[in-house]
Chains A and B, each alone.
Chain A
Amino acid sequence: MNRDPRPDPLIEGLAGLADDAPPRLLDRIAARWVRADSPVGAVFVAFTDRGVAYVRRDGPGVAEEFRRRFGRPLLRADSPPDGLAPALLGGGTAAPEVAVDLRGLTGFQADVLRAARTIPRGQVRPYAWVADLVGRPRAVRAVGTALATNPVPLVIPCHRVTRSDGTLGQYIFGADAKADLLREERAAAG
Chain B
Amino acid sequence: MRVIEDVDQWFVELYDQHRGLVFSAALRLSGARGDAEDLAAEAFLRAYRAASGYGEERRAALRTRAWIMTILMNVWRNHLRAVARRPPPDPLDDAADPPDAAESVEQAVERQETSGELAALLRRLPENQREAVVLRHVGGLSIGEIAEALGVAEGTAKSHVSRGLSRLRALAAGLDQGGFR
Contacts and interface: CB of A to CB of B under 8 A. Distances in A.
Contact of A73 (B48, B110, B165): B48
Interface string B12-33: 1001000111111001100001
A67 B106 CA distance: 52
At the interface, is chain B mostly helix, strand, loop or mixed?
Answer: helix
A18 B24 contact: yes
Contacts of A20: 19-20, 23
A69 to B, nearest CB: 12
Nearest to B41: A28
Chain A binding surface SS class: mixed
- Contact residue range for chain B? 35 or more
A107 interface: no
B138 interface: yes
Interface stretch (A6-14, A93-101, A153-161): A6-14
The number of chain A residues touching the other chain, given as a range, is 20 to 34
A5 interface: no
Interface string A53-75: 00000001011100100011111
A17 B23 CA distance: 11
B106 A9 contact: yes
10 contacts: A9-B109, A19-B20, A20-B23, A21-B40, A26-B15, A28-B41, A44-B3, A71-B48, A73-B12, A73-B48
Interface of A: 9-22, 24-26, 28-30, 33, 44, 60, 62-64, 67, 71-76
Closest 10 CB pairs of A and B: A21-B23, A14-B137, A13-B113, A21-B19, A9-B109, A28-B41, A18-B24, A63-B3, A73-B11, A9-B106
Interface of B: 2-5, 7-8, 11-12, 15, 19-24, 27-28, 33, 37, 40-41, 44-45, 48-49, 52, 105-106, 109-110, 112-113, 118-119, 122, 133, 137-140, 165, 168-169, 172
